[in-house]
Amino acid sequence: MGLKCYKVLFTLVVFFLGMFINNISLASGVKTLDDGWSPISPSDPSMVDIAKFAVNAHNEGHPESRVVFDRLVSGWFSGYPNPTYNMTIAAKSDIVRKYLALLAERPYMNSLWLLD
């Protein structure tokens, strides 16, 4: 076989391997949005801690409108190695309301901050 034949064979193997890996990831059941966001579990303790951090950060920046964390309602996660979280959090002042929080994390700097 000539060198050209090996190149064609290599290209076909890589193509079909990519198709196989893509099918496995689609069959895994993890749903993502087209832009790379994946759902988080509201019962995951690490996600609850991040939601509590968001409420505390809000309270530090807005002492006139303090709220108390009630629960994590839902959320989405994007990015590696720099995770970003988009969360819906139930918190209460006089009544329980839902708030949206956008947070960014830099694990290599051991930092997390509330963006919005």
The pLDDT score that the predictor gives to residue 20 is 45
d(CA 57, CA 55): 5
81 three-state secondary structure: coil
Give me Rg for the CA atoms of the chain: 21
Say what the pLDDT of residue 33 is: 46
Whole-number pLDDT of residue 3: 57
Residue 4 pLDDT: 58
Q: What is the pLDDT along the chain (116 residues), one digit of tens a residue?
A: 555 555 545 554 444 444 444 444 444 444 444 567 899 999 999 999 999 999 999 998 888 888 999 999 999 999 877 889 999 999 998 888 999 999 888 877 778 888 88
